[in-house]
């Protein structure tokens, strides 16, 4: 794949500082994309969509966060033209970018959009998902957990207050949202890892 794509992303991201959405995230998602691809995948579409899926990167607590993937798809168009992506492939790339987002709620309609969505969700799970979740919690000044009721047995879940509530509000539900058989299997494995981590954390 081409360094020109990464360079274009990094230029667009200049001045940003997000521990959970950085070039390392993009590269992990691309590794996941490759693991979920097969011979029928349009690699050019998938790669372009993967590189630019977080081009417009709004904070987790921004009110218009559900718009980020649509804004990314729009902002990617001129960059992709410059990078030489054939015009005919632009709609497929833009669809995969738009549909990758959990909060946008757009169903993925192509194999590449389904793969990118799974690949991005996998990066929220397992050990890397744990690291990213707590980095976001620290950046937003949230508590790690509720010391009075860490598992929310006597209160509603609230991941805007407590980081580990996010396991139940979102992360443990991701396996059932996955599109590909490989994605489902990996997501389940990574959720099991996170459950064991949560047990260890609360036993500390």
* Candidate list 12, 22, 67, 102; residue touching its own copies; CB under 8 A: 22
Identity of the residue, 17 or 40, whose beta carbon is nearer to its own copies in the bound complex: 17
* Candidate list 1, 4, 10, 24; residue touching its own copies; CB under 8 A: 24
**Three-state SS across 154-199?**
CCCCCCCCECCHHHHHCHHHHHHHCCCHHHHHHHHHHHHHHHHHHH
Say whether residue 102 binds its own copies (CB under 8 A).
no
118: left (phi over 0), alpha (psi -120 to 50) or beta: alpha
| Closest approach of its own copies to the CB of residue 3, in Å | 13
Identity of the residue, 92 or 125, whose beta carbon is nearer to its own copies in the bound complex: 125
Q: How many residues does the chain have?
A: 204
Say whether residue 193 binds its own copies (CB under 8 A).
yes
- In the block, tokens 């950085």 appear at 22
What is the DSSP annotation of 66-128? GGHHHHHHHHHHHHHHHTT--GGGHHHHHHHHHHT-TTT-PPP-SHHHHHHHHHHHHTTSHHH
Size of the site for its own copies (CB under 8 A): 38
Q: Do 165 and 152 meet the contact criterion of CB atoms below 8 Å apart?
A: yes
* Candidate list 68, 115, 163, 187; residue touching its own copies; CB under 8 A: 163
Identity of the residue, 95 or 132, whose beta carbon is nearer to its own copies in the bound complex: 132
Assign 143 to helix, strand or coil: strand
Say whether residue 128 binds its own copies (CB under 8 A).
yes
Say whether residue 130 binds its own copies (CB under 8 A).
yes
- x/- mask, its own copies, residues 25-64, rule CB under 8 A, reads --xx------------------------------------
Identity of the residue, 135 or 184, whose beta carbon is nearer to its own copies in the bound complex: 135
DSSP 65: G
Contact residues: its own copies, CB under 8 A: 17-20, 22-24, 27-28, 123, 126-145, 147, 163, 193, 197, 200-201, 203-204
């Amino acid at each position: 794949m081409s360094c020109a794509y990464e360079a274009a992303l990094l230029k667009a991201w200049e001045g940003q500082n997000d521990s959970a959405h950085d070039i390392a995230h993009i590269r992990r998602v691309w590794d996941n994309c490759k693991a979920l691809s097969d011979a029928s995948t349009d690699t050019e579409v998938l790669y372009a969509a993967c590189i630019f899926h977080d081009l417009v990167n709004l904070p987790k607590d921004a009110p218009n966060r559900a718009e980020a993937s649509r804004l990314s798809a729009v902002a990617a168009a001129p960059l992709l033209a410059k990078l030489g992506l054939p015009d005919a492939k632009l709609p497929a790339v833009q669809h995969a970018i738009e549909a990758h987002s959990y909060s946008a709620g757009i169903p993925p309609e192509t194999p590449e959009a389904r793969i990118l969505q799974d690949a991005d969700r996998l990066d929220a799970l397992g050990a890397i998902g744990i690291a990213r979740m707590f980095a976001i919690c620290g950046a937003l000044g949230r508590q790690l957990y509720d010391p009075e009721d860490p598992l929310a047995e006597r209160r509603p879940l609230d991941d805007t207050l407590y980081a580990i509530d996010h396991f139940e509000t979102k992360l443990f539900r991701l396996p059932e949202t996955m599109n590909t058989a490989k994605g489902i299997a990996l997501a389940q494995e990574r959720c099991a890892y996170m459950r064991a981590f949560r047990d260890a954390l609360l036993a500390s």
